[in-house]
Amino acid sequence: MRDNTYDILIIGGGVIGSSVARELSRYRLRIGVLEKELDVACGNSCRNTGMLHAGFTYKPGSLKAECAVEGNREFDQVAQELDIPFKRTGKVVVGFSDEDMQNILRFKRIGELNGVRGLEMIDKAKLNQIDNSAGGEFALYSPDSGILNPMLYNIALAENAHQNGVDFFFDSEVKAIKRQGEHFQVTAGDSVFSSRWIVNCAGMHCVTISEMLGLHGHQVKGFKGEYYVLDKKASQFMNIPVYPAPNAKGGFSTHATPTVDGNILVGPDSYITEDPDDFASTRDHMQGLVKDGSAIFKHMKAEYFIRNFAGTRWKRVDPETGDVLDFLIENRDDHPGVVNLIGIESPGLTCALPIARRVVAKIQEKEVLEVNNDFNPYRKGIVRFAEQSKERKKELIATDPDYGEIVCRCETVTRAEIVQAINNPLGAVTLTGIKNRTRACMGRCQGGYCETRITALIQEQCKVREHEVMYQHKGSGMFIGKVREVLDGE
Amino acid sequence: MENKDVIIIGGGPAGLAAAVQLYKLGITNILILEREKHLGGILRQCIHDGFGLQRFGESLSGPEYAQRFIDEVRELNIPYMTEVTVTEVTAGRKVTAISRRGVMEFQAKAVALTMGCRERTRGAISIPGTRPAGVYTAGVAQSYMNLANIMPGQEVVILGSGDIGLIMARRLTLEGAHVKAVFEVQPYPSGLPRNIEQCLNDYGIPLFLSHTVVDVKGHSRLEGVTVAQVDEQYRPIPGTEQEYNCDTLILSVGLIPENELSLGAGLTLDSRTKGAVVDEDYQTSCTGIFAAGNVLQVHDLVDFVSIEAERMALSIQECFLSSQFGNAEIEIVVDASISYSVPQKTTGKKDFTLSLRPKRPGRNCTVFVKQENVTIARKKFAKVLPAEMIQLAIPAERIDPEKKLEITLI
């Protein structure tokens, strides 16, 4: 029988849970991650702009400010260790009016207080030189801002943690947590686990888990935002992220951002939602994005639309006043063995590893952790055929002919990459998992060419039948069975 | 680098017809490159009949229609390669292709683009709602059912009355699924009348015109859609919403010529057809690169695809014989009554067939081809539909090379 006894159980396999798992795997501990979905990176970790923020809009002295600046500075090394797509593109915040100028200057000062480097006011000529698609009379230029692939970052952190000994349990929604002396008994999915520590990284469900742990009184509020994904053909018009001037509270209205993979994202807008699982796109907001998006990006045209998505920032709020509060990382003396993370939202992607180190520090305040000398910070990603030189392509096909079979036409993803996505440690078992790992289905035909091939590969490689092929979530069967049963001998 | 007279990209109906015709015209140093395991293209999954009425005078299934050409390719020993994906075509007609055997490069005297088209998706038409499993384009559902023996769902709603959607309504019904209705945003059907009759009416499947899907529901698998009536500007009319429980939504909302390789070669595309701008020789803006079939303009009948590809083959031969490659300068323009024309340009030196698609349904109409006030061709039609392409012959001797051709449908 499997031994379900752990030193530390992490609830949630998003970017925060996976970062915590990776940072804790630097020590000799038995660590498990409990994830309710069938894969990591299924919640808001994969539903965002993919920005590496510089940290100029967060209140000086806040955890958000501190972690964003720290996370930004180290990211070249992180991206190299984890072999993920990342570009330090810089970013411009453009303004037109005196009011914009006042707000921009205010955030430049805040940024400088936070330790953001290289912030510079630039005039129209310099702005046009940086990106001639950007409207605006002047801008704040932030050279340290960057863009990364949030799905692959999350996956890479999880794979690296797994490589260093962390167990991941999928389809394992936490249903009950009971304190039994020095241990917690956790019922998740169909199993019962035991652990000395619990780290709550449940993202949008953090308050539910916090309540189960007996830590009452926290409140979060969902600020949902919708996006349009534009065809790579539109990216010829934009070099770097262009944001409009923030409002006095530091909020940005709809903006356009190139992704590290070459698409353009338009959004997010912002409105309140009550439902943690509400990721629907809505007609009114889609129309709003087209209108507001066109103001900031003049090539916001229907011919470039390939997909829509939505994500939600679950901000911690003061239950009395409703004011938005900072990230919370707490280990309370009256609740030993719990590290509780509440309201980890944007800039959570940038802050993930700094937050994880602060979680480790909370645990180290209570016990001495023995260093794991075998810890390996490096993880190799799947080699992307499309991005290789002609010579390298020839070599790859010579080594593995599967590289010569192009499965996804739009993104030039090969059979070799799909097979690796399925068979890697923590491999994908769903269509979305394969998509997040390889970009197959992410192009303009949205799987029209490759989806049938990928679902056939899932059946072949995972040895499952057609009704067992899942799209993303549990219960998201793509097919109901065969058209006709073929009898033996026929 | 291997030299070829003609590289044909795509072994579907257009590529096959072009290859056979070129070979018969004596151009034999040719090669068909096909990305699938088998020749035949999309016809392989079109197991219904109705193909070949124009060309062969009999009703064939898609695979049967394709097989007639494949048999000819085999009899003539025309070279072809399958499971080869072309990744690049240059303006200088260098073709790069990838297969399990490696990276191949060819230098061609002429390139025939016959890549066909792809389906418009949910994202392209901005359908709101959640993103559960169970939303398929009609062609993908057709591929699952007819090539992989996989049943996509049970309770089905279809958006769009394109021909593949209508065919799939019947196919799903025959295999035991329950097709609740077909909704079309336009005030008229976008598929052929015979398909409305044989695929919907014969099975009692209702078609609602001027309706669209305004919401998609379900977390894991599709649970239902909300449908509403639309006004003349295609805006949903509040208060007309209706809920349909279903586990499958099939989209048949249009086809787009697949021209990414063409863009890579720097060809000029027509924003209306989404295909290359061509002259009467089917030559694109790039000398020596030709296009025919659904990559050029989406056809309603495969018979026309074959004919167009054969005409292109003839033009390639003529260009080889005369060593003259394109210099068409006379523009062909259409007014608001017509969606587009193919070709969009002509040299004015040879007779050609003009293909048009009317913008709206109409009765007792005449197409006029004029140069200023002189009518150089006209053709009367008892009935026109956007779903049916119109063709008419243009005599070169009547063309004034100094003036553009203007086309109208009255």
Q: Report the pLDDT value the prediction gives residue A250, as an integer from 0 to 100.
A: 66
Alpha helices in B134-192 (DSSP H): 138-148, 163-174
Structural domain includes residue A351: yes
Mean pLDDT confidence for A433-462: 97
Q: Are residues A208 and A246 in the same domain?
A: no
The strand pairing partners of B89, in sequence order, are: B95
Asked if A297 and A327 sit in the same domain, the reply is: no
Place of tokens 């939202």: A345
Percent of chain A, pLDDT > 90?
Answer: 90
From B195's Cα to the closest Cα of chain A, the distance in A is 23
- The CA distance from A358 to A373, in Å, is 21
Q: Which of B253, B209, B248, B259 is nearest to B231 (CA)?
A: B209
B298 shares a domain with B264: yes
Other C-beta atoms closer than 10 Å to the C-beta of A285 total 23
Residues B246, B125 share a domain: yes
Yes or no, beta carbons of A448 and B140 under 8 Å apart: yes
- One domain, residues B76 and B12: yes
Answer yes or no: do A209 and A341 share one domain: yes
pLDDT digits (tens, 9 = 90+) for A226-256: 999 999 999 988 889 988 888 777 677 788 9
Is A53 within the bounds of a domain? Answer: no
Please identify every stretch of chain B with a pLDDT value under 70, giving residue numbers as ranges. 324-326
- Span A253-276, pLDDT tens digits: 788 999 999 999 999 999 999 999
Domain finish residue from B326, B343, B376: B326
Helix axis angle, A150-163 relative to A75-82, nearest 10°? 60
Residue A350 lies in a domain: yes
Clarify whether residues A309 and A393 are in a common domain. Answer: no
Chain A residues touching residue B149 (CB < 8 angstroms)? 482-484, 486
The residue among A168 and A242 whose pLDDT is bigger is A168
Cβ–Cβ under 8 Å, residues A15 and A158: no
Q: Using the beta-carbon criterion (under 8 Å), do A308 and B123 form an inter-chain contact?
A: yes
Q: How many structural domains does chain B have? A: 3
The pairing of strands A256-258 and A183-188 is unpaired
Angle of helix B13-24 versus helix B302-322 axis, rounded to 10: 40
Helix, strand, or coil (residue A424): coil
Regarding whether A339 and A212 lie in a shared domain, the answer is yes
Residue A80 lies in a domain: no
Domain check: are A357 and A393 in the same one?
no
Same domain, B40 and B189: no
Which residues touch A309 (CB under 8 Å, ≥6 apart)?
A47, A226, A227, A229, A279, A281, B131
Residues A454 and A413 in one domain: yes
B contacts of A401 (beta carbons < 8 Å)? 100-101
B114 and B127 in a common domain: no
The pLDDT of residue A81 is above 80: yes
pLDDT band (50, 70, 90) for residue A486 = confident
Are both A119 and A155 inside the same structural domain? no
Q: Is residue A52 part of a domain?
A: no
CA distance A202 to chain B (A): 19
Return the pLDDT at A298: 82
Q: What is the pLDDT of residues A129-151, one digit of tens each?
A: 988 877 789 999 999 999 999 99
Average confidence score pLDDT of chain B:
96
- Does residue B224 share a domain with residue B152? yes
Do B316 and B265 lie in one domain? The reply is yes
Residue A374 in any domain: the answer is: no
- pLDDT of res. B214: 98
Are residues A226 and A264 both part of a single domain?
yes
Cα–Cα dist A183/A1, whole Å: 20
Q: Which domain holds residue A188?
A: 5-44+151-216+322-364
Q: Do residues A355 and A455 share a domain?
A: no
Burial of B178 (0-12, 13-18, 19+ CB in 10 A): middle
Q: Distance of CA B41 to CAs B13, B16, B20, Å?
A: 7, 9, 16
Name which of B84, B90, B126 to mutate to probe chain A: the one with the most chain A Cβ atoms within 10 A of its Cβ. B126
Asked if B147's CB is within 8 angstroms of A452's CB, the reply is yes
User: Alpha-carbon distance A290 to A292, whole Å?
Assistant: 6
Domain of residue B94, residue span? 1-119+255-326
What is the pTM assigned to this prediction? 0.96
Domain count, chain A: 3
The model's pLDDT over A350-403, given as tens digits with 9 standing for 90+, comes to: 999 999 999 999 999 999 999 999 999 999 999 999 999 999 999 999 999 999
- What residue has token string 């990928």? A454
Q: Which of B9, B28, B14, B33 is nearest to B101 (CA)?
A: B33
Closest alpha carbon within chain A to B175: A483
A433 and A354 within one domain: no
Element at A8 (helix H, strand E): strand A5-11
Q: Is residue A276 part of a domain?
A: yes
Contact between A239 and A130 under an 8 Å Cβ cutoff? The reply is yes
Picking from B303, B326, B349, the residue at the C-terminal end of a domain is B326
Report the CATH number at residue A193: 3.50.50.60
Residue B149 CB-half CA count within 13 A: 5
Query: Is A486 a domain residue?
Result: no
Which residues of B are less than 8 Å from A390 in CB distance? 96, 103
